[in-house]
Amino acid sequence: MKIGIDAMGGDFAPDAIIEGAVNAASQLPPDIHIVLIGKQDVINALLEKYNYQGSQIEVVHAEEVVEMGEHPTKALSQKPHSSISIGFKLLKDKQLDIFCGAGNTGAMHVGALFSIKAIEGIIRPAIVGFVPQKKGGHAVMLDIGANADCKPEVLEQFGVIGSIFAQQTFQIERPRVALMNIGEEEQKGSVVAQAAHQLLKDNTRIHFVGNMEGGDMFDDKADVIVTDGFTGNALFKLAESFYDVAKERGIQDDFIDKMNYESVGGSSIIGVNGNVMIAHGISSAIAIKNMITWARKQVESHAYVQIAKALS
Amino acid sequence: MKIGIDAMGGDFAPDAIIEGAVNAASQLPPDIHIVLIGKQDVINALLEKYNYQGSQIEVVHAEEVVEMGEHPTKALSQKPHSSISIGFKLLKDKQLDIFCGAGNTGAMHVGALFSIKAIEGIIRPAIVGFVPQKKGGHAVMLDIGANADCKPEVLEQFGVIGSIFAQQTFQIERPRVALMNIGEEEQKGSVVAQAAHQLLKDNTRIHFVGNMEGGDMFDDKADVIVTDGFTGNALFKLAESFYDVAKERGIQDDFIDKMNYESVGGSSIIGVNGNVMIAHGISSAIAIKNMITWARKQVESHAYVQIAKALS
């Protein structure tokens, strides 16, 4: 397996990326390789700094870097030799099993759509966030930011692809799918949420358990939380901030620690023909290391293959 | 001042309501009266149970009760002698300065619209939630559930009326107004959020400070958080659930305690011609007591009078 990482993406890149990769490499079985994509000399100097002696980390040179503030589509067309462009080229050519990056989120998203492309039949690919559950494990929530406006049919499809993703990632036979809403009764919510509720309820491919509310997010009411990318993004960021509140208040707690963005380290783009994970711009070495662990799981889950099968 | 309370509304009514009112009464100055509306004999028996001997609590008999599951509009028209109907009648007739209830939220909302009515010029009244801030005090967030779908002009008006409400409630001269969104840049977000951003930015009556994200909710970035009732409801309930997580984990912390719904005990309906507060169905005696404290503040703030002036 080859896990590709954009070595140049993120506020603390390339240093934090290389450190995270070196720490991850020491814990991976020998057949799993990490491919660092970026400025070769810079990466090599950092591999030396972090005293890396092994053979599981490879370096692929990329001359250019997409900066955080750049316009995604423009940047990718003007910088074909950027680490993001090259990463997606390698992914498309099956020289990588997954491509991960903590850089410009828009460019990662557009890069995925332009290279490996959306799976046929997918209305909108989505970003899946992992939400820790009180009783252990995670639920997946989608979308957490790719699509601020979602039609009911898009939310319905999130239910279907989120269900397959949860099935494959967590080995759950019949994932429970819930719709984020502002009341439990089916006639509650926005016009879109009401219509989506009916579509999800009538969809025989999923196990729809009804609406859930913001306060239920950690309560193991569902394995898949369906929501538009506006609500999902706001909720996900608020949940992450709870860890920051606890930390500032000197509170250490195993469950709250799981709300730390570093704990999973990344979110998956699903609905595309391949494996892609994106991470926070602020990603630390720990976050990168943990993302690599999840990246491996995602490759092994074959979720995107199953999603493509289900839609064909 | 007369603070009216629906004695029959809420999962633990009338017991919790009476207990909360008795506890509040002992701490209020003598010129502030609590008016309990509901079944007289039941209320009197409970006043005896809680050993109430004073003269600040009055009882107004109401023969009927609107149940939690009832359709708001139907219930109010079919039950003119319900505690909610009578409460709003007294409020309209200025025999109450504020009416508070923990019963059927929809009926409280419809009751306000049918009796004291929306202020002229108000597109949509909103429910205002109080969000504790790390540096102390609260921000107000609106809407937290009355309007699941909001047009940009409605969000703009939430900025204006929220600003006046914060001004009057917290004595802030120039409240900072922020728009809940999924990025800081003004071109970010849903179609509605992008349009609302422009309207808020161009509105000279408010001090608009731009977008904020879900993770900023406790960070004192704004005094007024503008959002639609769908996103606002989900975020507010998630924030409240942090307290539950902490409690279940055996964590006691002064700041997290403020996220407990009991801490303020209620939310205000604004944009109507009078003072109305609504509370959680699950309201405990402590929540009711604290709501009465805030109800007093709201009456003293004269916020609704100032909102009406600003719109006239």
Does A256 sit within 8 Å of B190, measured CB to CB? Answer: no
Asked if A241 contacts B218 with a C-beta cutoff of 8 angstroms, the reply is yes
Three-state secondary structure call for residue B42: helix
Q: How many other CB atoms are there within 10 angstroms of residue A312's CB atom?
A: 8
- Distance between CA A217 and CA A237 in Å, rounded? 13
The burial of A117, by beta-carbon neighbours within 10 Å (0-12 exposed, 13-18 middle, 19 or more buried), is given as middle
Three-state secondary structure call for residue B106: helix
Beta-carbon contacts of A67 under 8 Å, excluding residues fewer than 6 positions away, are A75, A104
Q: Which of B211, B282, B213 is nearest to B243 (CA)?
A: B282
* Strand bridging mode B33-38 / B2-6: parallel
**Which of A245, A256, A260 is the best mutation test for B, with the most CBs of B within 10 A?**
A245
pLDDT above 90: residue A24? yes
- Which residues sit opposite B116 in a β-bridge? none
**What is the nearest CA distance from A2 to chain B, expressed in angstroms?**
32
Mean pLDDT for the stretch of residues A191-216? 98
Does A217 sit within 8 Å of B248, measured CB to CB? Answer: no
Q: What is the pLDDT of residues A278-310, one digit of tens each?
A: 999 999 999 999 999 999 999 999 999 999 999
Angle, helices A229-248 vs B229-248, to 10°: value is: 30
Q: Which of B285, B229, B290, B286 is nearest to B277 (CA)?
A: B290
Mean pLDDT for the stretch of residues A85-114? 96
What is the per-residue pLDDT for B186? 87
Does A245 sit within 8 Å of B193, measured CB to CB? Answer: no
Query: Chain A contacts of B255, Cβ < 8 Å?
Result: 245, 249
Query: Chain A contacts of B230, Cβ < 8 Å?
Result: 182, 189-190, 193, 231
Least CA distance to A231: which residue of chain B? B231
Q: Which of B29, B122, B115 is nearest to B72 (CA)?
A: B115
Tokens standing for residue A118: 């959306």
What is the per-residue pLDDT for A274? 98
Mean pLDDT for the stretch of residues A12-21? 97
Q: What is the pLDDT of residues A255-271, one digit of tens each?
A: 999 999 999 999 999 99
Least CA distance to B237: which residue of chain A? A215
Does B215 sit within 8 Å of A237, measured CB to CB? Answer: yes
What is the per-residue pLDDT for A142? 98
Does A236 sit within 8 Å of B255, measured CB to CB? Answer: no
What is the per-residue pLDDT for B69? 87
Does B241 sit within 8 Å of A218, measured CB to CB? Answer: yes
Q: Which of A263, A266, A213 is nearest to A243 (CA)?
A: A263
**Which of B73, B179, B182 is the best mutation test for A, with the most CBs of A within 10 A?**
B182
ipTM of the complex, rounded to two decimals: 0.95
Query: Chain B contacts of A149, Cβ < 8 Å?
Result: 190-191
Domains in chain B: ranges and CATH: 1-119+271-301 (3.40.718.10), 123-261 (3.40.718.10)
**What is the nearest CA distance from B154 to chain A, expressed in angstroms?**
15
**What is the nearest CA distance from A30 to chain B, expressed in angstroms?**
39
- Distance between CA B245 and CA B233 in Å, rounded? 18
Does B230 sit within 8 Å of A189, measured CB to CB? Answer: yes
- Distance between CA B221 and CA B216 in Å, rounded? 7
Asked if A222 contacts A209 with a C-beta cutoff of 8 angstroms, the reply is yes
What is the per-residue pLDDT for B123? 97
Of A4-13, A181-190, B206-215, which gets the smallest average pLDDT? A181-190
* Strand bridging mode A207-212 / A267-270: unpaired
Give a three-class secondary structure readout of chain A. Answer: CEEEEECCCCCCCCHHHHHHHHHHHCCCCCCCEEEEEECHHHHHHHHHHCCCCCCCEEEEECCECCCCCCCHHHHHHHCCCEHHHHHHHHHHCCCCCEEEECCCHHHHHHHHHHCCCECCCCCCCEEEEEEECCCCCEEEEECCCCCCCCCHHHHHHHHHHHHHHHHHHHCCCCCEEEEECCCCCCCCCCHHHHHHHHHHHHCCCCEEEEEECHHHCCCCCCCEEECCHHHHHHHHHHHHHHHHHHHHCCCCCHHHHCCCHHHHCCEEEECECCEEEECCCCCCHHHHHHHHHHHHHHHHHCHHHHHHHHHC
What is the per-residue pLDDT for A139? 98
What is the per-residue pLDDT for B187? 86
Asked if B85 contacts B108 with a C-beta cutoff of 8 angstroms, the reply is no
What is the per-residue pLDDT for A293? 95
- Which residues sit opposite B141 in a β-bridge? B129, B225
- Distance between CA B66 and CA B13 in Å, rounded? 12
Q: List alpha helices for chain B, DSSP H.
A: 15-25, 40-49, 72-78, 83-92, 105-114, 152-170, 191-202, 229-248, 254-257, 261-264, 285-301, 303-311
Query: Chain B contacts of A244, Cβ < 8 Å?
Result: 215
Give a three-class secondary structure readout of B286-304. Answer: HHHHHHHHHHHHHHHHCHH
What is the per-residue pLDDT for A224? 98
- How much of chain A, in percent, has pLDDT values that exceed 90? 97
Through-space distance between the first and last CA atoms of chain A, rounded to whole angstroms: 26
- How much of chain A, in percent, has pLDDT values that exceed 70? 100
Does B145 sit within 8 Å of A215, measured CB to CB? Answer: no
Does A182 sit within 8 Å of B148, measured CB to CB? Answer: yes
CB-defined contacts A:B, below 8 A:
117
B234, B249, B251 ranked by CB distance to A235: nearest:
B234
**Which of B238, B249, B254 is the best mutation test for A, with the most CBs of A within 10 A?**
B238
Q: Count Cα atoms within 13 angstroms, Cβ side, for A204.
A: 0
Least CA distance to A260: which residue of chain B? B215
**Which of B127, B231, B253, B282 is the best mutation test for A, with the most CBs of A within 10 A?**
B231
pLDDT above 90: residue A69? no
- Distance between CA B159 and CA B171 in Å, rounded? 17
Does A145 sit within 8 Å of B182, measured CB to CB? Answer: yes
Average pLDDT per consecutive 10 residues, chain B (312 residues; last block may be shorter) = 97 97 95 98 98 96 94 95 98 98 94 97 97 97 96 98 97 97 91 98 98 97 98 97 96 96 95 97 96 96 96 90
* Amino acid at position B149, single letter: D
Asked if B21 contacts B53 with a C-beta cutoff of 8 angstroms, the reply is no
Report which DSSP code applies to B82. Answer: B
Report which DSSP code applies to B241. Answer: H
Mean pLDDT of chain A: 96
Does B235 sit within 8 Å of A249, measured CB to CB? Answer: no
Least CA distance to A105: which residue of chain B? B183
- Distance between CA A158 and CA B95 in Å, rounded? 52
Evaluate the omega torsion of the peptide bond into residue A31 and state whether it is cis, within 30 degrees of 0. no
A→B contacts (Cβ < 8 Å), by residue, are 134, 145, 148-149, 180, 182, 188-191, 193, 213-218, 228-231, 233-242, 244-246, 248-249, 251, 253, 255-256
Does A234 sit within 8 Å of B182, measured CB to CB? Answer: yes
Does A244 sit within 8 Å of B242, measured CB to CB? Answer: no
B→A contacts (Cβ < 8 Å), by residue, are 134, 145, 148-149, 180, 182, 188-191, 193, 213-219, 228-231, 233-242, 244-246, 248-249, 251, 253, 255-256
Does A218 sit within 8 Å of B245, measured CB to CB? Answer: yes
Tokens standing for residue A86: 């090259």
Phi, psi angles (nearest 5°) of residue A140:
-105, 140
Q: What is the pLDDT of residues A234-258, one digit of tens each?
A: 999 999 999 999 999 999 999 999 9
Beta-carbon contacts of B143 under 8 Å, excluding residues fewer than 6 positions away, are B124, B126, B127, B128, B150, B158, B227, B228, B229, B232, B233
